[in-house]
Amino acid sequence: MDKKNALRAGALAAGTTLMMLLMSSPALALTRDDGDDPGQGLSVIETLGLFVLAPIVLFAVIAGLVMVLDRSTDRRPKVKAKAKA
């Protein structure tokens, strides 16, 4: 029964994806709207800097601030007491 359910779920997912692709209209990027004034495109370096380097730097800054400004007093590892025999 599991194989039949998996096949049914896969067919449903594939059918749904196909219908979404067929029913969606193109992005209408070929016709320009009134008032549409796009700027110049980004170079490869600018694109990588904006979408790769900037998020990594932002993550590092936030993580660094969290570590530096952490005020918890429990920084030393706990020592387990030995059991007496």
pLDDT in tens, the chain (85 residues): 688 899 999 999 999 999 988 887 766 666 777 777 888 999 999 999 999 999 999 999 999 999 999 877 766 666 777 766 6
What is the pLDDT, as a whole number, of residue 1?
Answer: 63
What is the pLDDT, as a whole number, of residue 34?
Answer: 77
What is the pLDDT, as a whole number, of residue 39?
Answer: 84
What is the pLDDT, as a whole number, of residue 74?
Answer: 66
Q: Which runs of consecutive H residues, i.e. helices, occur in the chain? A: 2-23, 44-48, 54-68
Say what the pTM is: 0.47
**Alpha-carbon gap, residue 44 to 71, rounded angstroms:** 42
**Alpha-carbon gap, residue 53 to 45, rounded angstroms:** 10
